[in-house]
């Protein structure tokens, strides 16, 4: 690595309304601006911005303040959360890095010191900066990338360059930070629990640190997901907002901090357990990506994430197959005749994928035994899975299968043969959860055993889809016999296992399920094809969970199923119209014993499946629109085609309002200059008396311009609680 200091370099990245201006002035890179596009700046313009944001001098502060780097450093008198914490047996705990090289999309950036500061501009690109501290014997590489959609992401790789005795460096923390302007003073992130993931919460950003630590060993049902800070009162359509997401599926951090100096940052990284990362000579640690999205209103912040994900070459297509998962139909009762009957019923309704859930393997007749023994149970399946797989594929559907590769019951062949493969610390097993423990995939022999067993199943059967579950937290997750923490290694091993299975089986899709929605992050979604939002598919609760899960991911990555008439989780009873109108704004599936459905229910279900298939190009590729509506008893949201030609909106009544009519609902996002025809997709005949005045069987539509829909709105159906209708907005030739 070159040793000449790199200084006087400014780089401007611009894409899709976002600008990032980075300065390297000897130390680590600092972000001078991250937010709305600044236009095509000149070198003089960049110099003016650099001068304008120069840190001020205050009484009782350091004499020569420096800019806050993307890895805040103690040596620069930053008294907030440092970017790096660690030491070499108590030494080298406050590094001072000097940048020595930089590239932009792989092209070295040369600095001509005799001509003043160098200024480089680019579109979406990757800036990589190398820096060293020769005294602390550390090197660091930092990536700052502007991605399609206008999302920024950063990560860092720390290398121990020391040699000789006592060279090991224990890394305790590495977090990256984006600067926040002083106008950003209100926080929005998420809480949650099993069955009610992604519950929004707001609070003020005050002096100090708002720290969200995920210590579940997985992302967690209570994960912050996206930590936003914006101008007070921001909502879906208004207010300037900066949001970050840590793309990591193990222990992790999101934080926002306001210093006594008035400086503010927002950032994140991996949460490292004590002694988890000890770098020997020449060894490196790479942080997860920390993503940043800026926008006016929460919808724009979300749409940037969506567009980035949709730009991927491996992103899922819009014509995603309608899925039946049989868990709530049969649970552990794997009767072949019943499953064949379900397959026939599903195919007759237009279902395109059939997924066999937990209970097909080993001694797994309940959740107390067999987990980890990935061989087809001879007791339940004497002919293997072939009779079911052959029927499913013969009916033109894909076959999917449930696995939980990272977990184990102690009552299993694998645990009895290899108790040392169970994660534990301190000479004791962790408390059981769901009657299971965690298999240590960080042990190579354990990893090979699980990969081999899964590969054998995938090689024998025509399987196009895996539901990959993960049903407990990693508590006291150590490697026996030492008990050294193993969450970091386990997370990387899981990524590796998914990558290798998909590479060996082209076309295989994998769903990330983790007690429902406890592993939803951009780390797992780099390699999986959808996530299970929640084990709770009661549509009343799913209205909230689906609404806020799309703050990070687009609908096509979100498993959204039509539930049974009586919810298996909450016990509530809902009409098909409410269940289906909720579920179609995601990757549609069914979680219902179809053999118990009436003919009328099947006819309605068939109609909803046909609607979804006809409209999934819009439902799963449209721009997200969530409507700010003052009556909390109503949710209104939808999708609009990228060219603004069409839209589908949902009006959902969640509870009884204190007034008879909740008022006009505006439908934003369409072309203000176009004329549209708005009709009701589904209105249960029993609800005719709740129809709006503009609707009648003879004229079931109203014609309005996009400007009128956005500014005037229309009267929605006056629905009773726990009902929903869809409004289809089509272009009208005039």
DSSP line for 591-652: ES-GGG--HHHHHHHHHHHHHHHHHHHHHTTSEEEE---S-TTEEEEEEE-TTSS-EEEEEE
Give SS3 for 672.
coil
pLDDT of residue 7: 80
Residue 621 lies in a domain: no
The gap between the terminal CA atoms of the chain, to the nearest Å, is 66
CATH code, 711: 2.60.40.1180
Rg for the chain (alpha carbons), in Å?
27
Q: Name 173's Cβ contacts closer than 8 Å, sequence gap at least 6.
A: 82, 84, 85, 86, 269, 272
Report the C-alpha gap between 377 and 385 in whole angstroms: 9
Residues 506 and 608 reside in one and the same domain: yes
Location of structure tokens 């939803």: 520
DSSP string, 82-104: -SEEEEBTTBS-S---EEEEEEE
71 and 214 in a single domain? The answer is yes
Per-residue pLDDT at 58? 80
Rounded alpha-carbon distances, angstroms, from residue 396 to 147, 242, 346, 355, 587: 38, 46, 11, 14, 19
Query: What does residue 623 show for φ and ψ, rounded to 5 degrees?
Result: -80, 130
Distance of alpha carbon 363 from alpha carbon 500, whole angstroms: 27
Q: Is 133 left (phi over 0), alpha (psi -120 to 50) or beta?
A: beta
CATH code, domain carrying 419? 3.20.20.70
Same domain, 259 and 393: no
Residue 620 lies in a domain: no
Please list the alpha-helical segments (H only) found in 435-587.
Answer: 444-460, 487-504, 539-549, 576-583
Q: What residues are labeled active site?
A: 469, 535
Q: How many CB atoms lie within 10 A of CB 526?
A: 16
Give pLDDT, residue 112.
54
Same domain, 306 and 340: no
Instruction: Output the six-digit token pair for 474.
Output: 């990693």
Question: Number of H helices and number of E strands within the chain?
Answer: 12, 39
Containing domain of residue 292, as a range? 9-310
Mean pLDDT of successive 10-residue stretches along the chain, which has 734 residues: 72 97 94 96 94 85 83 90 95 94 92 68 96 96 98 98 93 98 97 97 97 98 98 98 98 96 95 97 98 98 98 96 97 97 98 98 96 97 98 98 98 98 94 97 98 98 98 96 96 98 98 97 98 97 97 98 95 95 97 95 96 97 96 94 97 88 91 96 71 90 97 92 95 81
Domain count within the chain: 3
* 202 part of a folded domain: yes
Encoded tokens for 177: 């930070």
In this structure, the answer to whether residues 375 and 243 fall within a common structural domain is: no
Contact (CB, 8 A) for 471 and 437: no
In a domain, 727, yes or no: yes
pLDDT at residue number 620: 98
What pLDDT score does 704 carry? Answer: 97
Pair (600, 646) in one structural domain: no
Residue ending a domain, choose from 252, 281, 310: 310
Given this model, what pLDDT does residue 236 score?
A: 98
**Same domain? 174 vs 301:** yes
Is 559 within the bounds of a domain? yes
Model pLDDT for residues 550-595, shown as the tens digit of each residue: 999 999 999 999 999 999 999 999 999 999 999 999 999 999 999 9
648 and 554 in a single domain? The answer is no
Whether residues 609 and 646 share a domain: the answer is no
631 with 492, same domain: the answer is: no
Same domain, 402 and 545: yes
- Tell me what pLDDT residue 200 has: 98
Same domain assignment for residues 339 and 306: no
Question: Environment class of residue 367 by beta-carbon count within 10 Å: exposed (0-12), middle (13-18) or buried (19+)?
Answer: middle
CATH code assigned at 199: 2.70.98.60
Does the residue 396 lie in any domain? Answer: yes
Does residue 194 lie within any of the structural domains? Answer: yes
User: Smallest Cα–Cα separation from 574: which of 421, 418, 723?
Assistant: 723
Which of 282, 310, 338 lies at the terminal end of a domain, its last residue? Answer: 310
């Amino acid at each position: 690595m070159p040793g000449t200091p790199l200084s006087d370099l400014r780089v401007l990245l611009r894409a899709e309304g976002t600008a990032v201006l980075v300065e390297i002035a000897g130390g680590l890179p600092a972000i001078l601006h991250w937010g709305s596009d600044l236009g095509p700046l000149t070198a003089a313009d960049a110099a003016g911005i650099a001068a304008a944001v120069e840190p001020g001098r205050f009484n009782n502060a350091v004499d020569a303040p420096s800019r806050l780097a993307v890895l805040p450093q103690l040596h620069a008198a930053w008294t907030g959360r440092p970017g790096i914490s660690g030491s070499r047996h108590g030494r080298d705990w406050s590094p001072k890095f000097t940048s020595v090289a930089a590239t932009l999309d792989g092209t070295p950036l040369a600095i001509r010191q005799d001509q003043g500061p160098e200024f480089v501009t680019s579109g979406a690109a990757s800036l990589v900066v190398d820096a060293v501290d020769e005294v602390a014997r550390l090197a660091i590489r930092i990536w700052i990338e502007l991605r399609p959609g206008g999302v920024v992401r950063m990560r860092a790789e720390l290398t121990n360059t020391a040699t000789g005795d006592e060279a090991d460096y224990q890394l305790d923390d590495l977090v990256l930070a984006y600067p926040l302007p002083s106008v950003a003073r209100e926080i929005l992130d998420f809480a949650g629990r099993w069955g009610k993931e992604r519950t929004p919460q707001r609070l003020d950003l005050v002096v100090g640190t708002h720290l969200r630590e995920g210590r579940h060993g997985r992302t967690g049902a209570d994960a912050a997901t996206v930590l936003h800070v914006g101008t007070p009162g921001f909502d879906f359509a208004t207010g300037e907002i900066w949001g970050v997401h840590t793309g990591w599926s193990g222990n992790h951090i999101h934080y926002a901090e306001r210093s006594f100096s008035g400086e503010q940052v927002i950032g994140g990284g991996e949460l490292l357990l004590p002694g988890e990362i000890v770098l020997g000579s020449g060894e490196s640690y790479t942080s997860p990506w920390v993503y940043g999205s800026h926008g006016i209103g929460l919808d724009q912040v979300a749409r940037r994430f969506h567009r980035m994900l949709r730009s991927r070459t491996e992103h899922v297509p819009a014509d995603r197959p309608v899925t039946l998962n049989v868990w709530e139909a049969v649970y552990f009762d794997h009767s072949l005749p019943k499953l064949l009957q379900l397959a026939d019923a599903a195919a007759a309704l237009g279902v395109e994928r059939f997924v066999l859930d937990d209970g097909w393997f080993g001694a797994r007749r309940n959740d107390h035994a067999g987990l980890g023994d990935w061989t087809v149970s001879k007791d339940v399946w004497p002919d293997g899975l072939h009779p079911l797989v052959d029927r499913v594929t013969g009916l033109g559907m894909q076959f999917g299968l449930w696995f939980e590769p990272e977990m184990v019951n102690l009552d299993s062949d694998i645990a009895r043969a290899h108790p040392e493969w169970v994660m534990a610390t301190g000479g004791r097993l962790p408390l059981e959860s769901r009657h299971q423990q965690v298999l240590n995939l960080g042990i190579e022999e354990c990893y090979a055993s699980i990969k081999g067993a899964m590969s054998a199943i995938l090689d024998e059967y025509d399987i196009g889809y895996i539901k990959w579950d993960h049903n407990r937290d990693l508590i006291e997750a150590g490697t026996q016999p030492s008990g050294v923490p193993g969450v970091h290694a386990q997370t990387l091993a899981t990524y590796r296992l998914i990558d290798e299975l998909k590479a060996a089986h082209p076309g295989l899709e994998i769903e990330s399920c983790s007690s429902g929605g406890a592993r939803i992050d951009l780390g797992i979604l780099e390699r999986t094809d959808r996530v299970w939002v929640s084990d709770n598919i009661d549509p009343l609760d799913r209205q909230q969970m689906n609404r806020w899960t799309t703050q990070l991911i687009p609908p096509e990555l979100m498993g959204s199923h039509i539930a049974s008439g009586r919810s298996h989780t909450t016990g509530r009873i809902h009409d098909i119209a409410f269940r289906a109108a909720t579920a179609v704004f995601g990757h549609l599936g069914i979680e219902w014993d179809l053999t118990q459905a009436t003919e009328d229910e099947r006819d309605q279900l068939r109609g909803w499946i046909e609607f979804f298939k006809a409209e999934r190009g819009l439902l799963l590729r449209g721009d997200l629109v969530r409507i700010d509506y003052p009556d909390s008893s109503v949710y209104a949201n939808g999708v609009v085609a990228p060219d603004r030609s069409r839209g589908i909106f949902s009006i959902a009544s969640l509870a009884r309002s204190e007034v008879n009519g909740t008022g006009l609902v505006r439908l934003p996002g369409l072309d203000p200059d176009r004329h549209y025809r708005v009709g009701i997709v589904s209105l249960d005949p029993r609800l005719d008396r709740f129809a709006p005045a503009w609707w009648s069987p003879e004229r079931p539509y109203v014609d309005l311009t996009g400007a009128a829909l956005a500014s005037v709105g229309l009267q929605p159906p006056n629905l009773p609680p726990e009902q929903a209708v869809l409004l289809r907005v089509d272009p009208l030739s005039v």
